[in-house]
C-alpha cells in the first residue's frame, strides 16, 4: 500500500492566511450558462518518452475533462496528488485564483521554485484545456486572443557524433531539407578531446576553437535557409563564456543558450553585456519573479521560459508581458509531449513577442501518436480552433508507452 499524499498536512497552512479557496473568499455566486461546474478529481499518468512526461487530467461533475502536462521528472505526480483536495469542489474557470491558491497552500513545500511549481504548472495547463472546453473557446482566447495563426518551431538536433562538426552540419542540412524546419538548435557542451578538468568550467583555447568549428560548419552549411541556436547547458565559467561568445560573433548565431550556471544573475548579466552574440536564458528560472532580474537588468537578449515548468500558461504570458517592456523576444524552451507543446503554442499565438517554440523529440517516432491530431507540419504549429488545447490523448498510445508500474487515467 503506497502513501496517500492527499492526506499529508501542513500545520502552518491550517492556521495562517494561505488559503484562497472559494469558501474562504466567498466565491459562491451562481454563474449560469452552464458555468457552475465543480472539480471532482485530478489524476496523473507518466509516459516514458525521450523524457518521462507527466500527463495531468482534471475531472468535473459535468463530465468534461481537461488535459495538461507538467515538466518531466520525479516528484510531480506525488505533489499533484497532494494538491488534489485543494481543487476538489472548486470551479475550474477560476484559473488565476486556483493557481495562486495552490502556490499559497504549497508555500511551505517550496512553491517559489522547483518541482512544486512544475506540479502546479501541469494543473494550470489542464485548467486551460478544461476552461476552454466549458466555454467552447480555444485556449489562446483565454489568454487575450491571438497575434498569429501558426507558431514557428525550432528543432533541437542531435547526431551520433555530436563533437564532429561535419556530422552536425550533415544533420542540420537533413533537418532543413528533408524535415522542413527553418530553425534549429545544437549542443555546444560536447567533448572536444582537449579537456583537462571538466569540473572547473574553464574553456581552454583549443576547446573554444573546437566549438567555433561546429558553429562554423553548421551555419555555413544551412546559410540563410535556417536560423541556428547553440545550447551550453550552464556549463562554463563567466570568463570562458565571455571568450566563447566573443569568438562566435563572426558567425550567424541565432542565440547562445545558458552559457553559465543560472544561480548568479550578476555573472549572467556580465556575460550578456560583453558580447554581440545574442544570449538566451530562462528555462531553469521559476515564475515571473525568477525572470524579473534577468529582464530588468538586461541580462538576456532572448528569454526562454519553459511553460510547463515555469508556472503554466498564464504565468508564461505574464513573463512575456514583462519581457515586452524591455523589447525582449520569447523563445519557449520545450521538451514536452504533444500536450504541453500545443499549450506552449497557444501561448506563442497570444503574445506579441513570440519568437519560436522548441521541439525536442524529432528522433522519437511515436511522439505525435500520443494525440489524435497532427501537431507540427513543415516546422510550424497551426493553432487549432477547437475548444481548449485542441488535442485529444490517444489512450491506447498512452497506455503502450507508460512508465513501468504506472497506471492509466480512469
Which part of the chain has CATH 3.30.390.10?
A: 11-137
Instruction: Identify whether the C-beta of residue 247 lies closer than 8 Å to the C-beta of residue 212.
Output: yes
Q: What is the mean pLDDT of residues 300-325?
A: 98
pLDDT at residue 1 tops 70: no
Instruction: Identify whether the C-beta of residue 126 lies closer than 8 Å to the C-beta of residue 66.
Output: yes
Say what the pLDDT of residue 133 is: 98
pLDDT tens string 194-248: 888 989 999 999 999 999 999 999 999 999 999 999 999 999 999 999 999 999 9
Burial class (CB in 10 A: 0-12, 13-18, 19+), 30: exposed
pLDDT at residue 258 tops 90: yes
Q: Is the dihedral of CA 189, 195, 198, 203 positive or negative?
A: negative
The distance in angstroms from the start CA to the end CA of the chain is: 19
pLDDT greater at residue 113 or residue 275? 275
Say what the pLDDT of residue 14 is: 67
Residue 108 is placed in which grid cell? 511551505
pLDDT tens string 327-371: 999 999 999 999 999 999 999 999 999 999 999 999 999 999 999
Helix (H) or strand (E) holding 119: helix 115-135
Residue 307 is placed in which grid cell? 511553460
Q: How confident is the model at residue 398 (pLDDT cuts 50, 70, 90)?
A: very high
Q: Can you tell me the distance from the alpha carbon of 296 to that of 271, in angstroms, rounded to the nearest whole number?
A: 15
What are the DSSP E strand ranges found in 29-145? 39-48, 52-60, 65-70
Say what the pLDDT of residue 274 is: 98
Q: How confident is the model at residue 15 (pLDDT cuts 50, 70, 90)?
A: low
Q: What is the mean pLDDT of residues 77-92?
A: 96
Say what the pLDDT of residue 111 is: 85
Q: Find the range with the poorest average confidence among 1-10, 42-51, 380-389.
A: 1-10
Three state DSSP letters for 274-318:
CCCCCEEECCCCCHHHHHHHHHHCCCCCEECCEHHHHCCHHHHHH
The mean of the pLDDT values for the chain is: 95
What percent of the chain shows pLDDT beyond 90? 89
Determine the 3-state secondary structure of 19 from DSSP.
Answer: coil
Q: What is the dihedral of CA 156, 370, 125, 22, to 10 degrees?
A: -160
Residue 202 is placed in which grid cell? 574553464
Say what the pLDDT of residue 11 is: 76
Q: How confident is the model at residue 193 (pLDDT cuts 50, 70, 90)?
A: confident
Q: Can you tell me the distance from the alpha carbon of 187 to that of 92, in angstroms, rounded to the nearest whole number?
A: 40
Say what the pLDDT of residue 337 is: 98
146-386 belongs to CATH 3.40.1190.20: no
Residues with Cβ within 8 Å of residue 49, at least 6 apart in sequence: 72, 337, 361, 364, 367, 401
Q: Can you tell me the distance from the alpha carbon of 71 to that of 334, in angstroms, rounded to the nearest whole number?
A: 9
Say what the pLDDT of residue 16 is: 63
What percent of the chain shows pLDDT beyond 70? 99
pLDDT tens string 96-151: 999 999 999 998 888 888 999 999 999 999 999 999 999 999 999 999 999 999 99
Which of 3.30.390.10, 3.40.50.300, 1.10.10.10, 3.30.70.600 would CATH assign to domain 11-137? Answer: 3.30.390.10
Compute the C-alpha angle 290/291/294, nearest 5°: 115
pTM: 0.96
Q: What is the mean pLDDT of residues 17-39?
A: 89
Which part of the chain has CATH 3.20.20.120?
A: 146-386
Q: How confident is the model at residue 86 (pLDDT cuts 50, 70, 90)?
A: very high
Say what the pLDDT of residue 3 is: 87
Q: What is the dihedral of CA 331, 92, 94, 23, to 10 degrees?
A: -140
Residue 107 is placed in which grid cell? 508555500
Determine the 3-state secondary structure of 381 from DSSP.
Answer: strand
pLDDT at residue 171 tops 60: yes
Say what the pLDDT of residue 28 is: 86
Amino acid at each position: 500500500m503506497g502513501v496517500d499524499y492527499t492526506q499529508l498536512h501542513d500545520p502552518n497552512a491550517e492556521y495562517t492566511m494561505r488559503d484562497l479557496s472559494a469558501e474562504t473568499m466567498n466565491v459562491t455566486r451562481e454563474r449560469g450558462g452552464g458555468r457552475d461546474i465543480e472539480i471532482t478529481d485530478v489524476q496523473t499518468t507518466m509516459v516514458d518518452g525521450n523524457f518521462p512526461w507527466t500527463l495531468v487530467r482534471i475531472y468535473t461533475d459535468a463530465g468534461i475533462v481537461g488535459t495538461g502536462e507538467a515538466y518531466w521528472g520525479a516528484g510531480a505526480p506525488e505533489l499533484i496528488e497532494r494538491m488534489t483536495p485543494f481543487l476538489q469542489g472548486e470551479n475550474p474557470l477560476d484559473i488565476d485564483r486556483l493557481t495562486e491558491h495552490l502556490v499559497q497552500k504549497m508555500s511551505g513545500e517550496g512553491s517559489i521554485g522547483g518541482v512544486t511549481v512544475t506540479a502546479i504548472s501541469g494543473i494550470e495547463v489542464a485548467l486551460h484545456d478544461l476552461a476552454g472546453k466549458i466555454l467552447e473557446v480555444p485556449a489562446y482566447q483565454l489568454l487575450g486572443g491571438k497575434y498569429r495563426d501558426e507558431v514557428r518551431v525550432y528543432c533541437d538536433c542531435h547526431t551520433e557524433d555530436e563533437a564532429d562538426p561535419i556530422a552536425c552540419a550533415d544533420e542540420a542540412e537533413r533537418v532543413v531539407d528533408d524535415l522542413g524546419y527553418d530553425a534549429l538548435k545544437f549542443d555546444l557542451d560536447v567533448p572536444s578531446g582537449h579537456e583537462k578538468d571538466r569540473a572547473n568550467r574553464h574553456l581552454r583555447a583549443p576547446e573554444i576553437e573546437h566549438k567555433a568549428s561546429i558553429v562554423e560548419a553548421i551555419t555555413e552549411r544551412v546559410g540563410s535557409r535556417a536560423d541556428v541556436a547553440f545550447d551550453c547547458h550552464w556549463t562554463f565559467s563567466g570568463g570562458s563564456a565571455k571568450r566563447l561568445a566573443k569568438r562566435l560573433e563572426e558567425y550567424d548565431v541565432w542565440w547562445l543558450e545558458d552559457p553559465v550556471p543560472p544561480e548568479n544573475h550578476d555573472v549572467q548579466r556580465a556575460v550578456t553585456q560583453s558580447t554581440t552574440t545574442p544570449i538566451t536564458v530562462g528555462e531553469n528560472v521559476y515564475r515571473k519573479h525568477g525572470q524579473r532580474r534577468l529582464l530588468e537588468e538586461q541580462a538576456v537578449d532572448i528569454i526562454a521560459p519553459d511553460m510547463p515548468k515555469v508556472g503554466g500558461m498564464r504565468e508564461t504570458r505574464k513573463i512575456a508581458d514583462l519581457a515586452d517592456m524591455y523589447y525582449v523576444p520569447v523563445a519557449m524552451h520545450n521538451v514536452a509531449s504533444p500536450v504541453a507543446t500545443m499549450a506552449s503554442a497557444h501561448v506563442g499565438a497570444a503574445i506579441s513577442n513570440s519568437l519560436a517554440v522548441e521541439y525536442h523529440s524529432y528522433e522519437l517516432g511515436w511522439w505525435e501518436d500520443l494525440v489524435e491530431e497532427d501537431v507540427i507540419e513543415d516546422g510550424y504549429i497551426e493553432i487549432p480552433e477547437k475548444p481548449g488545447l485542441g488535442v485529444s490523448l490517444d489512450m491506447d498510445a498512452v497506455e503502450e508507452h507508460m512508465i513501468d508500474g504506472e497506471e492509466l487515467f480512469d
